[in-house]
Each structure stands twice: as structure tokens, then as C-alpha cells.
Chain A
């Protein structure tokens, strides 16, 4: 069973490419921003065109039609899948193989808004997104498109310099190593208090003289990433030998 929102495709080069598909709320907010922009534009132009009588009214009707139907199509096609609202939410539309949106797909998904909109304010669209595993509304299904986050969470190695690398005192499995490394790099979204809380959970298996479990795990993470151990933990000879063994096995296996 799939619990996260990562969608994967395989490129012709044989690597799996992943992107995070976007749920209902950010998309609704993006829509709201676009809606306000369109309404604002419409009223601004309505005031300006009101000086031109019936001709102005005719032009206003054409403008309304363009804003209603073509605004999202043209933005998504020419601005790489992003309307103003989508851009400000950091999301974009792509074909479902993650290539740049085609014109046909942009038009299809936006014409089908009329169906997604029914019966009341995007009722069917929301329903369709909730039952689909890639949050696709009806228009997305027909056009073969998905909405993904445009920006990945960044590669933040900058905080690494403050950490002292520590060689682990016991052999760690692949998953444990990955957990330590990710704990160390903390993708910027876990608070210090939560880090402490997480570290406290595994305190029983850490060397007994560990003062600061957070610093210790971060140190191990940095060591696992390949930093040389400046201050190796002194945990007795048995642990040392284990440590060497694990380091050797890691290096022969490609290392971490």
C-alpha cells in the first residue's frame, strides 16, 4: 500500500524519477489566487471599458470569455505548467510522464473544468482527486496530466560543518545508516525539540556515556557520509573492533 505522495516514472535511461504530487488544498489555494486575479482584472477592465459604451461592453464580454477559458490554458502552456496562482504555491502541471505540458493537454484539462466544477464548486473534481492515487481531477485524467511540486526540498549541507564526526560503536544496518544520515541532514523541517525527542527514543542503545544524543547521532551521520572521525568515541575494545569491521564491510560494499 502506498502512503506517501511520491509518484514515480522510469526514464529511458533506466533511472526512476520521482515527483511529489500535489493534494487538494494547495491546488484550491492556487485556484483562489488565480480567481482573484481574474476577477480583479475583469473589474479593472470593466471600469476602463465603461467609457466606450456598447462597444466597450462587447469587448468586455470577449475579455470575460478569454479570462474564463483561456487564462489557465495560455499560462500553463507558455509558462511551463504554471499559472500565477500555481507559481506562487510552488506547484506546476506536467504531462504524466513529467515532460513539459503540451498544448492539447493544457486545453483538454482546462475545458474539462466545466465537468470538474459540477455539481457544486468542483465537487466532482475534488471527488476524483480523492479517489485517484495521483490526485488527478477528471480533466487531468482526460489530458493525462499531473500537478507536482515544482521545487524539491533543497540539499542542505550547510549545517554540517558544526558537527563533529563520530564513528558508530556498533554495526548499523542500511536502514539505520540512512536514518542517521537523514537525521543529520534534517531537511530543515524538524524542530530542535522534536530532534531531541527522536534522539531520546534510542538513547538506551547509545553508548552509556553519551551526553547529548542529538549531537551523537548527527556525528555518526556525518561519519557515515564519509567524514573522517576527529574524535572517536571511547567505548572499549570490543566496540572498537566491531566498528572497524563494519567500516570495512561498508567500504567493500560501496560504502555510505
Chain B
């Protein structure tokens, strides 16, 4: 069959398919029952056109139709059907537990500098200036001065909503960058973790040295549970990317990276939600000077226990079943 005859015979079918596939085919679109058959016919036409060496323009037109048909046919299977509630109940803890060694490394890289600088700045009130300029240190000091209405704020006029916005754009941005730069053999994540460990540890030691502990610790204990843990998690997710490139194992680096990113992005879903919660607590709860410290400590302690219980101990058997979904590397 020559090209023109082939074209005139099938023109109508192609036009029909073109119209059908031009509709906005969303992730949840449904198809008539004979779609697979029609799609296969299209595939056959493409194969014929190619093997008979028909003109490039016809081949590319059919290629385009098949491509859209293929997306409609197979695109839907890759949508995550797992519902969100289920993911946060079991999926997120499962992906954390499957990748626990990255969590240990990330936690160590954050906590060790934290402890060292906290103790250092507690003993030596000049040490903090080694990592922060004097203006920032002074700002930190004024933010936690006892007797303020609102703690943790540069200006007392700042409203809760404003601080909420600030925590979201600042903290979540840091976590996202901490994750992304892990692709450079983990170096970016390690740097962000260690640096934040130094600064946060240093500031807490410095303020304790000044005797501001009674305002600082009640302020940070509540949201710290979500915020600090989430930063460590984002670092761990970054390390997963970096490690896949350094030690891809039996896979080639590209495949290993992709596989690791599949797990890491699930960690990042959780990180995002945790930091939203942290920002909310920090803006609307932690800053208040009216709530008695004892209540803040009690709530803070509860939140810490909650976060750790949820991430590492909650629903062990159910979560273990989910863990088989994730690469235990």
C-alpha cells in the first residue's frame, strides 16, 4: 500500500483519535472500553508507517498520536493512589525507619556541633562571636530578654501572622536547600546540618550564660520537637541522594539516584508538614509570655515524645508491612 492510500483509508480514524486525545486528560479521567483496542490499532499504524518508510511528517504525526494515547493509557497507573492519611499514618514512619542509618548520621552531624558549641558558649561568652557577627548576637540577646511580651522576635510590633510567614518562608526554605544540596555527595546537607547545629547550640549556650534560660528554653521546647527533627530529616534525605551517587551498589548511578530520590521525596513530604506545624506552634504558642513556663515545658515534652513515638515506635507491625515498599538499603 502506498502512503496516500494508507492515509486516505485511515484519515478518519486518526482524526477521531486526535479529537479524543485532545480533551484534557486529567489524572482521574476514565476511558471508553474500546480505548485499548483503538490505541493498539494506532500503534500498529505507526509501526507500519515506520517499516514502510513513509514520510517523516506522517510518521511524526502518528508518533504524536501514539504518544498521547500512550500517556492516556499508562499515565494513570503511576499516580500515587495511596491516600494521604494513610501515607502520614504509616508511609512516612516506614520510609524513615527503612532509612534509619541516614537519620543516625544526619542526627550526629547536627547534634555533636550543637552540644560542643552549647557547652563552649555557656562557659565562654565570647565564643559565639566566632560564628555570628556582633549585630546578630545582640539581636538574639534582645529577643529573649526576660520581661518581654513576646519572645523570639526582633521587634515587639511583629504580629503572630507575620512571624508565621517568616518561619514558613525561612525555615522550610532552609530545609529544602538542605535536602537539595545533598546531591553533591551529601556535602551540602552535611554543611547545613553542622552549621545550624553550631548556631542553634551556640545561641542556647550563650543565652544560658546570660541567665536568659528561663525565657529561651520555654520558647524553643514546643516547636523544637518538630523543627529540629525535621531539619535533621531533610539532611538525611539529602544524604540519601549523595550516598546513592557515591555508592550506587549494583545499580548504575543514574538509577541509584532515582531510586534514592523516590524514598527521599517521601521524607520531604513529612518534613514539609512538620515544618508547617512547627511554624504554627512557634508563631502562635511559643512566643506568648502569658502562658506559664511549667505549661510550656509540659506541652513541649509531650510534643517531643509524640514526634519520636510517631516516627519510630508507632504501629510497628503495620508500618513494618509498609517498609517492604521502600528500599531497605
Contacts and interface: CB of A to CB of B under 8 A. Distances in A.
Interface stretch (A32-40, A54-62, A195-203): A54-62
Interface in A123-168: 138, 141-144, 151-157
Nearest to A124: B184
B265 A65 contact: no
Given A62-B165, A99-B71, A14 B47 contact: yes
Given A99-B70, A152-B64, A226 B4 contact: yes
B162 A57 contact: yes
Nearest to A153: B60
Given A15-B66, A17-B67, A65-B169, A226 B162 contact: no
A59 B7 CA distance: 58
Interface stretch (B175-183, B223-231, B287-295): B175-183
A171 interface: no
Interface in B131-184: 157-159, 161-166, 168-169, 172-173, 176-177, 179-181, 183-184
A206 interface: no
Contacts of A118: 181
Interface in B58-91: 58, 60-61, 63-64, 66-67, 70-71, 74-76, 78-80
Contacts of A152: 60-61, 63-64
Given A100-B78, A102-B80, A115 B184 contact: yes
A255 B269 CA distance: 56
Contacts of B40: 13
B38 interface: no
A11 B162 contact: no
Nearest to A104: B265
Given A64-B169, A155-B58, A142 B184 contact: no
Contacts, number: 186
A185 interface: yes
A142 B159 contact: no
Interface residues of A, number: 67
Given A65-B169, A118-B181, A11 B43 contact: yes
Nearest to A16: B50
A215 interface: no
A71 to B, nearest CB: 14
Nearest to B184: A115
Contact of A61 (B60, B76, B162, B177): B162
B261 interface: yes
Contacts of A254: 1, 51-52
B262 interface: yes
Interface string B192-222: 0000000000000000000000000000000
B71 A58 contact: no
A10 B113 CA distance: 51
A5 interface: no
B125 to A, nearest CB: 33
Contacts of A138: 183
A102 B70 contact: no
A73 to B, nearest CB: 11
B258 interface: yes
Contacts of A53: 159
Contact of B57 (A17, A103, A185): A185
Nearest to B188: A115
Interface stretch (A23-31, A83-91, A105-113): A105-113
A112 B178 CA distance: 10
A173 B132 CA distance: 75
Interface of B: 1-7, 24-25, 27, 39-40, 43, 46-47, 50-58, 60-61, 63-64, 66-67, 70-71, 74-76, 78-80, 157-159, 161-166, 168-169, 172-173, 176-177, 179-181, 183-184, 188, 241, 254, 257-258, 261-262, 264-266, 268-269
21 contacts: A11-B66, A12-B74, A15-B43, A54-B162, A57-B165, A65-B172, A102-B79, A108-B261, A138-B183, A141-B257, A143-B258, A178-B55, A182-B57, A225-B2, A225-B3, A225-B55, A226-B5, A255-B1, A255-B52, A256-B3, A256-B53
